[in-house]
Amino acid sequence: MGADEPNEAEAIAIEALGFIAGDSDLLPRFLSLTGITIDRIRTAAAEPGFLGGVLQFILAHEPTLMAFCDQSGISPERVAKAARHLPGGQDEWDRQP
């Protein structure tokens, strides 16, 4: 991640969402876990925390993470770092002022 970390993190999350959407096994599981419907994905993607949740979903299952990384060319470390730069990540977004 470079100087533009939030934008890069968002781009990785959007790529991960496309990966999920293109997989007939992952998409139903993602929808079930998030409680959203397929027709609400675009709306939900604009909500704070959604893209961070996409990366948390990818990170929660190592075979899914590795498949995404193989397809995208993005390292697992970059995916984890990206998740921390989005609302719903484990670092600065979860701290109370």
d(CA 47, CA 90): 17
Domain ranges of the chain: 5-89
Q: Which residues of the chain have pLDDT under 50?
A: 3, 91-97
Dihedral Cα 46, 52, 57, 61, nearest 10 deg: 150
Task: Report pLDDT digits (tens) over 48-70.
Answer: 899 999 999 999 999 999 999 99
Q: Is the pTM of this model over 0.75?
A: yes
The first and second tokens of residue 78, run together, are 């970059």
- CB contact set of 91 (below 8 Å; sequence gap of 6+): 84, 85
Kindly state the helix (H) or strand (E) to which residue 82 belongs, with its residue range.
Answer: helix 76-84
